[in-house]
Amino acid sequence: MLSINNLTAKVEDKTIIKGLNLEVKPGEVHAIMGPNGAGKSTLGYVLSGREGYEVEGGSATLNNNDLLDMDIEERAREGLFLAFQYPVEIPGVSNMEFMKESVNAIREQRGEDALSAAEFLKIAKDACKQVQLPLDFLKRGVNEGFSGGEKKRNEIMQMILLKPTLCILDESDSGLDVDALQVVANGVNSQRDANRSFIVVTHYQRLLDYIKPDFVHILADGKIVKSGDASLALEVEKEGYAFLGKGYEEANA
Protein backbone atom coordinates (compact mmCIF):
# COMPACT_ATOMS: atom_id res chain seq x y z
CA MET A 1 0.00 0.00 0.00
CA LEU A 2 2.22 2.84 1.29
CA SER A 3 5.94 2.52 1.17
CA ILE A 4 8.20 5.31 2.44
CA ASN A 5 11.95 4.94 2.02
CA ASN A 6 14.56 7.18 3.53
CA LEU A 7 12.34 10.25 3.04
CA THR A 8 13.87 13.64 3.71
CA ALA A 9 11.86 16.86 3.47
CA LYS A 10 12.24 20.49 4.40
CA VAL A 11 10.05 23.47 5.16
CA GLU A 12 11.54 26.90 4.49
CA ASP A 13 15.14 25.64 4.43
CA LYS A 14 14.72 23.66 7.62
CA THR A 15 14.90 19.91 7.24
CA ILE A 16 12.09 18.41 9.30
CA ILE A 17 11.83 14.83 8.00
CA LYS A 18 15.25 13.21 8.15
CA GLY A 19 15.39 9.79 6.52
CA LEU A 20 12.03 8.31 7.45
CA ASN A 21 11.06 4.73 6.62
CA LEU A 22 7.56 3.33 6.92
CA GLU A 23 5.74 0.39 5.38
CA VAL A 24 1.93 0.28 5.63
CA LYS A 25 0.11 -2.79 4.33
CA PRO A 26 -3.56 -2.93 3.30
CA GLY A 27 -5.92 -2.99 6.27
CA GLU A 28 -3.33 -1.90 8.83
CA VAL A 29 -3.67 0.90 11.34
CA HIS A 30 -0.43 2.67 12.25
CA ALA A 31 -0.29 5.21 15.04
CA ILE A 32 2.42 7.84 14.96
CA MET A 33 3.23 9.52 18.24
CA GLY A 34 6.00 11.81 19.27
CA PRO A 35 6.93 15.01 20.99
CA ASN A 36 6.07 18.45 19.63
CA GLY A 37 8.09 19.47 16.64
CA ALA A 38 9.02 15.90 15.75
CA GLY A 39 7.54 16.26 12.26
CA LYS A 40 4.22 14.42 12.77
CA SER A 41 2.00 16.89 10.89
CA THR A 42 4.75 17.58 8.37
CA LEU A 43 4.69 13.93 7.32
CA GLY A 44 0.99 14.19 6.41
CA TYR A 45 1.58 17.39 4.44
CA VAL A 46 4.60 15.99 2.58
CA LEU A 47 2.69 12.86 1.60
CA SER A 48 -0.31 14.87 0.40
CA GLY A 49 1.89 17.30 -1.52
CA ARG A 50 1.21 20.59 0.22
CA GLU A 51 3.03 23.58 -1.24
CA GLY A 52 6.05 24.67 0.77
CA TYR A 53 6.88 21.13 1.89
CA GLU A 54 9.82 20.19 -0.25
CA VAL A 55 11.12 16.66 -0.63
CA GLU A 56 14.91 16.53 -0.58
CA GLY A 57 15.45 12.82 -0.96
CA GLY A 58 14.02 9.34 -0.65
CA SER A 59 10.80 7.97 -2.05
CA ALA A 60 7.15 7.37 -1.25
CA THR A 61 4.82 5.14 -3.25
CA LEU A 62 1.11 4.51 -2.91
CA ASN A 63 -0.13 1.31 -4.54
CA ASN A 64 3.21 1.21 -6.37
CA ASN A 65 2.68 4.68 -7.88
CA ASP A 66 5.28 7.34 -7.23
CA LEU A 67 3.39 9.59 -4.86
CA LEU A 68 5.96 12.39 -4.92
CA ASP A 69 5.58 12.85 -8.66
CA MET A 70 1.86 13.60 -8.52
CA ASP A 71 -0.11 16.85 -8.05
CA ILE A 72 -2.08 17.25 -4.84
CA GLU A 73 -5.40 16.39 -6.48
CA GLU A 74 -3.91 13.37 -8.26
CA ARG A 75 -2.74 11.96 -4.94
CA ALA A 76 -6.23 12.50 -3.54
CA ARG A 77 -7.80 10.75 -6.52
CA GLU A 78 -5.32 7.90 -6.06
CA GLY A 79 -6.92 7.37 -2.65
CA LEU A 80 -4.92 9.48 -0.21
CA PHE A 81 -7.04 11.33 2.34
CA LEU A 82 -5.79 13.78 4.94
CA ALA A 83 -8.07 14.67 7.86
CA PHE A 84 -6.90 18.12 8.88
CA GLN A 85 -5.98 19.17 12.37
CA TYR A 86 -7.42 22.65 11.73
CA PRO A 87 -9.87 22.44 8.82
CA VAL A 88 -10.25 25.76 6.99
CA GLU A 89 -13.59 27.48 6.28
CA ILE A 90 -14.91 28.04 2.75
CA PRO A 91 -17.75 30.54 3.22
CA GLY A 92 -20.78 30.29 0.93
CA VAL A 93 -19.83 26.90 -0.52
CA SER A 94 -22.16 24.33 1.00
CA ASN A 95 -20.77 21.11 2.40
CA MET A 96 -23.12 19.29 0.07
CA GLU A 97 -21.88 21.09 -3.06
CA PHE A 98 -18.24 20.73 -2.03
CA MET A 99 -18.48 17.04 -1.24
CA LYS A 100 -20.49 16.23 -4.35
CA GLU A 101 -17.82 17.79 -6.57
CA SER A 102 -15.16 16.03 -4.60
CA VAL A 103 -16.80 12.60 -4.64
CA ASN A 104 -17.46 12.90 -8.37
CA ALA A 105 -13.86 13.96 -9.11
CA ILE A 106 -12.69 10.80 -7.38
CA ARG A 107 -15.35 8.60 -9.01
CA GLU A 108 -14.25 9.92 -12.40
CA GLN A 109 -10.69 8.80 -11.65
CA ARG A 110 -11.98 5.33 -10.82
CA GLY A 111 -13.96 5.22 -14.07
CA GLU A 112 -17.31 5.40 -12.28
CA ASP A 113 -20.29 7.54 -13.34
CA ALA A 114 -20.90 10.84 -11.57
CA LEU A 115 -23.57 10.69 -8.89
CA SER A 116 -26.73 12.68 -9.43
CA ALA A 117 -27.77 15.21 -6.80
CA ALA A 118 -30.41 12.81 -5.48
CA GLU A 119 -28.03 9.84 -5.30
CA PHE A 120 -25.43 11.92 -3.55
CA LEU A 121 -27.91 13.38 -1.08
CA LYS A 122 -28.84 9.90 0.08
CA ILE A 123 -25.28 8.80 0.90
CA ALA A 124 -24.45 12.22 2.34
CA LYS A 125 -27.37 11.99 4.76
CA ASP A 126 -26.20 8.57 5.91
CA ALA A 127 -22.65 9.81 6.46
CA CYS A 128 -23.94 12.88 8.29
CA LYS A 129 -25.97 10.71 10.66
CA GLN A 130 -23.03 8.42 11.20
CA VAL A 131 -20.89 11.23 12.63
CA GLN A 132 -23.91 12.57 14.52
CA LEU A 133 -24.07 15.95 12.83
CA PRO A 134 -27.52 17.46 12.22
CA LEU A 135 -28.56 17.22 8.56
CA ASP A 136 -28.52 21.00 8.12
CA PHE A 137 -24.72 20.75 8.19
CA LEU A 138 -24.94 19.56 4.60
CA LYS A 139 -26.41 22.92 3.62
CA ARG A 140 -24.04 25.04 5.67
CA GLY A 141 -20.85 26.49 4.25
CA VAL A 142 -17.81 24.20 4.51
CA ASN A 143 -16.68 24.47 8.18
CA GLU A 144 -18.34 27.90 8.30
CA GLY A 145 -18.97 28.72 11.95
CA PHE A 146 -18.47 25.08 13.01
CA SER A 147 -17.07 24.42 16.48
CA GLY A 148 -13.73 22.61 16.74
CA GLY A 149 -15.47 19.30 17.40
CA GLU A 150 -17.92 19.78 14.53
CA LYS A 151 -15.04 20.45 12.16
CA LYS A 152 -13.35 17.20 13.17
CA ARG A 153 -16.56 15.25 12.70
CA ASN A 154 -17.05 16.93 9.34
CA GLU A 155 -13.60 15.68 8.29
CA ILE A 156 -14.58 12.13 9.22
CA MET A 157 -17.82 12.53 7.27
CA GLN A 158 -15.78 13.49 4.21
CA MET A 159 -13.58 10.47 4.72
CA ILE A 160 -16.63 8.20 4.85
CA LEU A 161 -17.95 9.70 1.61
CA LEU A 162 -14.69 9.62 -0.32
CA LYS A 163 -13.79 6.01 0.52
CA PRO A 164 -10.02 6.56 0.36
CA THR A 165 -7.49 3.73 0.46
CA LEU A 166 -5.05 5.52 2.76
CA CYS A 167 -6.37 7.82 5.50
CA ILE A 168 -4.02 10.08 7.40
CA LEU A 169 -5.66 11.50 10.52
CA ASP A 170 -3.73 14.52 11.77
CA GLU A 171 -4.49 14.88 15.48
CA SER A 172 -8.17 14.26 14.88
CA ASP A 173 -8.53 13.94 18.66
CA SER A 174 -7.17 17.35 19.64
CA GLY A 175 -9.70 19.55 21.37
CA LEU A 176 -12.40 16.86 21.56
CA ASP A 177 -14.35 15.86 24.64
CA VAL A 178 -14.88 12.18 25.36
CA ASP A 179 -18.23 11.98 23.55
CA ALA A 180 -16.94 13.63 20.41
CA LEU A 181 -13.84 11.48 20.54
CA GLN A 182 -16.05 8.41 20.62
CA VAL A 183 -17.97 9.64 17.56
CA VAL A 184 -14.76 10.28 15.62
CA ALA A 185 -13.34 6.90 16.62
CA ASN A 186 -16.55 5.08 15.70
CA GLY A 187 -16.51 6.79 12.31
CA VAL A 188 -12.95 5.63 11.72
CA ASN A 189 -13.60 2.11 13.00
CA SER A 190 -16.62 1.74 10.73
CA GLN A 191 -14.33 2.35 7.77
CA ARG A 192 -11.69 -0.19 8.73
CA ASP A 193 -11.49 -3.05 6.30
CA ALA A 194 -8.95 -5.31 4.66
CA ASN A 195 -8.18 -2.85 1.85
CA ARG A 196 -8.11 0.44 3.71
CA SER A 197 -5.17 1.60 5.79
CA PHE A 198 -4.84 4.34 8.39
CA ILE A 199 -2.05 6.49 9.74
CA VAL A 200 -3.27 7.99 12.99
CA VAL A 201 -1.12 10.90 14.11
CA THR A 202 -1.73 11.76 17.74
CA HIS A 203 -0.17 13.30 20.75
CA TYR A 204 -2.07 11.26 23.29
CA GLN A 205 -2.63 7.61 23.92
CA ARG A 206 -6.31 8.34 24.69
CA LEU A 207 -7.46 8.11 21.05
CA LEU A 208 -5.83 4.70 20.75
CA ASP A 209 -8.15 3.34 23.43
CA TYR A 210 -10.88 3.78 20.83
CA ILE A 211 -8.97 3.16 17.60
CA LYS A 212 -6.84 0.07 18.21
CA PRO A 213 -3.60 0.36 16.23
CA ASP A 214 -1.72 -2.58 14.77
CA PHE A 215 1.54 -0.69 15.11
CA VAL A 216 2.75 2.29 17.10
CA HIS A 217 5.74 4.34 15.95
CA ILE A 218 7.54 7.03 17.85
CA LEU A 219 8.63 9.89 15.61
CA ALA A 220 11.39 12.08 16.94
CA ASP A 221 13.58 14.57 15.16
CA GLY A 222 12.25 13.56 11.74
CA LYS A 223 12.82 9.82 12.09
CA ILE A 224 10.98 6.83 13.48
CA VAL A 225 13.03 5.97 16.52
CA LYS A 226 10.97 3.17 17.97
CA SER A 227 8.22 0.89 16.74
CA GLY A 228 6.04 -1.59 18.54
CA ASP A 229 2.50 -2.75 19.07
CA ALA A 230 -0.30 -0.97 20.94
CA SER A 231 1.52 -1.46 24.26
CA LEU A 232 4.18 1.04 23.17
CA ALA A 233 1.56 3.80 23.33
CA LEU A 234 0.70 2.86 26.91
CA GLU A 235 4.35 2.89 27.79
CA VAL A 236 4.73 6.41 26.39
CA GLU A 237 1.64 7.52 28.26
CA LYS A 238 3.18 6.33 31.49
CA GLU A 239 6.84 7.15 31.02
CA GLY A 240 6.71 10.10 28.61
CA TYR A 241 9.39 10.43 25.98
CA ALA A 242 12.15 10.04 28.58
CA PHE A 243 13.81 7.27 26.64
CA LEU A 244 14.54 9.75 23.86
CA GLY A 245 16.91 11.61 26.14
CA LYS A 246 16.62 14.56 28.45
CA GLY A 247 16.09 17.24 25.82
CA TYR A 248 12.87 15.71 24.49
CA GLU A 249 11.37 15.21 27.89
CA GLU A 250 11.82 18.85 28.74
CA ALA A 251 10.60 20.05 25.40
CA ASN A 252 7.43 18.12 25.94
CA ALA A 253 6.89 18.97 29.59
Partner 1 sequence: MTEQIDQALSKQYEAGFVSDIESETFESGLNEDIIRRISAMKEEPEWMLEWRLKAYQTFLEMDDPDWAHVNFPKIDFQKISYYSAPKSMKDKPKSLDEVDPELLRTYEKLGIPLYEQEMLAGVAVDAVFDSVSVVTTFREKLEEAGVIFCPISEAVHKYPDLIKKYIGSVVPRSDNYFAALNSAVFTDGSFVFIPKGVRCPMELSTYFRINEQNTGQFERTLIIAEEGSHVSYLEGCTAPQRDENQLHAAVVELVAMDNAKIKYSTVQNWYPGDEQGRGGIYNFVTKRGICHTNAHISWTQVETGSSITWKYPSCVLKGDNSVGEFYSVALTRGAQQADTGTKMIHLGKNTRSTIIAKGISAKNSNNAYRGLVQMGPKADNARNFTQCDSLLIGDKCGAHTFPYIESRNPSAIVEHEATTSKVSDEQLFLCQQRGLDPEKAVSMIVNGFCKEVFKELPMEFAVEAGKLLEISLEGSVG
Between CA 250 and CA 253 the distance in angstroms is 5
Q: How big is the chain, counted in residues? A: 253
Under 8 Å between Cβ of 34 and 218: yes
Minimum distance from residue 218 beta carbon to partner 1 (Å) = 26
Return d(Cα 120, Cα 192) in angstroms, integer: 22
State the amino acid at position 87 in one-letter form: P
CB atoms under 10 Å from CB of 52, counted, come to 8
Q: How far is the CB of 22 from partner 1 (least distance, A)?
A: 20
Nearer to partner 1, 142 or 184 (CB): 142
Q: Where are the alpha helices (DSSP H) in 110-244?
A: 117-130, 148-162, 178-191, 206-210, 230-239
Which member of 158, 172, 202, 205 binds partner 1 (CB under 8 A)?
158
Q: Which of 58, 87, 228, 240 binds partner 1 (CB under 8 A)?
A: 87
* Closer to partner 1 by Cβ: residue 70 or 234: 70
Closer residue to partner 1, CB minimum distance, 40 or 75: 75
Cα–Cα distance, 112 to 207 (Å, whole number): 35
Q: How far is the CB of 41 from partner 1 (least distance, A)?
A: 13
Residue 40 or 223: which CB sits closer to partner 1? 40
**Measured distance CA(6)–CA(14) in Å, rounded:** 17
Site for partner 1 in 47-76 (CB under 8 A): 48, 50-52, 71-73, 76
Burial of 88 (0-12, 13-18, 19+ CB in 10 A): exposed
97 is a site residue for partner 1 (CB under 8 A): yes
Interaction of residue 115 with partner 1, rule CB under 8 A: no
User: Applying CB under 8 A, does 153 fall inside the site for partner 1?
Assistant: no
**Minimum distance, C-beta of residue 250 to partner 1, in the bound complex (Å):** 32
Nearer to partner 1, 8 or 48 (CB): 48
Q: Which of 106, 160, 183, 200 binds partner 1 (CB under 8 A)?
A: 106
Cβ nearer to partner 1, comparing 27 with 141: 141
Instruction: Determine, following the binding rule CB under 8 A, whether residue 91 of this chain makes contact with partner 1.
Output: yes
| Residue 90 interacts with partner 1 (CB under 8 A): yes or no | yes
State how far the Cα of 123 lies from the Cα of 39, in Å rounded to an integer: 36
Tell me the DSSP string of 25-73. Answer: -TT-EEEEE--TTSSHHHHHHHHHT-TTEEEEEEEEEETTEEGGGS-HH
- Chain residues that interact with partner 1, rule: CB under 8 A: 48, 50-52, 71-73, 76-77, 81-82, 84, 87-88, 90-93, 97-99, 101-102, 105-106, 109, 141-142, 158, 162
